[in-house]
Amino acid sequence: MNLILIDPQEVRADGRVRLDDQRAAHARDVLRASPGKILRVGLLNGPLGKGTVERKTTDSVTLYCEWETDAPLRPPVDLLLAMPRPKVLKRLWAQLAALGIGRIILINAKKVERFYFDTHVLKPAFYTKRLIEGLQQARDTRLPDVTVVKQLKPFLEDEMNALFPKSEKRIIADPSGPRTVSQCLHSAPKRACLAVGPEGGWTSYELKLFEKHGFEAFSVGSRILRTDTACIALISLLAESLRNKV
C-alpha cells in the first residue's frame, strides 16, 4: 500500500478522516503512524494529498487531510478483454488497476465458456476492492470503469462508439497482426483501446468484426502467453508507446 485511498464520503466537513479498517492497521503497523507523521493519501477518483496523523488508538487512526488541486489524469489505455477464467480474472483486477486502465470491458467471445460469467469475481463489491488495492499499490486514485458485455456483435455495432470515441485508436492483439504496437500508434493518438482475446484466440469471424469497427491488428511475436501475462505485457507496451508519443 503506497497510498491510503479514501472515499469522499469518509471525509468530514473539517477535513478529518477516521480510519478503522485495514488502512488503519497498515498505517499503524507498516507505516508506524504516530501523531504528526504525514502519510500519502488519495481521494477516490480525486486528487492526491497528504494526511497528517492526529490521533492513533488500538483500532483507529485519524488523519487531517489536505488535497492537491488536480486529480491524476485518467489512464490513456482502455481494455476490451474476452472474459478470462474466473481464477485468472481474480488475480488480474488489482494488476489492471495498478498498471492504469481508464475503462475495462469484459466481453463474450466464441472461445469463452458461458459459465465464466456466473462468477462472483464479476460482482462490483468483489472487484472494486481489488481495483482499489491496485490503485493503492500504484499511487493512483482513478477507479477504472467496468462493464460486462455478453454479446460482442451488438456491442461493437451499437455501443462501442459511445464508450470509445472513434478518435481514440483501436487495436487488437493477434498473432497474425501485420503491425507492431508502435506502428499502430504512429499517428500519436491520446488514448487507445486494446482488445485482448480468450486463451484460444479470436475466431476469424471475430477478427473481421473488429476490423470492420476500426481495430488494427498487431502482433508481439510468436510466444503464446496466458491471459493475465498477456494483458500486463500488452498494456505496458501500449502505455509506454502513448507516453513517449506525447
**221 near a second copy, judged by CB under 8 A:** yes
Distance, in Å, from the CA atom of 242 to the CA atom of 199, rounded to the nearest integer, reads 26
Considering only residues 133 through 192, tell me which ones interact with a second copy, judged by CB under 8 A: 137-140, 180-182
**233 near a second copy, judged by CB under 8 A:** yes
Nearer to a second copy, 2 or 57 (CB): 2
Q: Evaluate whether 141 touches 183 at the Cβ level (below 8 Å).
A: no
**234 near a second copy, judged by CB under 8 A:** yes
All three cell numbers of 175: 498473432
Q: Evaluate whether 18 touches 145 at the Cβ level (below 8 Å).
A: no
Distance, in Å, from the CA atom of 90 to the CA atom of 121, rounded to the nearest integer, reads 6
Number of shown-chain residues binding a second copy (CB under 8 A): 30
Give 77's contacts (C-beta < 8 A, 6+ positions apart).
99, 100, 101, 102, 191, 192, 193, 194, 235, 238, 239, 242
Nearer to a second copy, 152 or 235 (CB): 235
**Stretch near a second copy under the rule CB under 8 A, chosen from 57-65, 112-120, 154-162, 236-244:** 236-244
DSSP SS3 for 78: strand
**243 near a second copy, judged by CB under 8 A:** yes
List the one residue from 79, 99, 160, 194 that touches a second copy (CB under 8 A): 99
List the one residue from 39, 98, 132, 196 that touches a second copy (CB under 8 A): 98
Site for a second copy, rule CB under 8 A: 2, 95, 98-100, 137-140, 180-182, 220-226, 229, 232-237, 239-240, 243-244
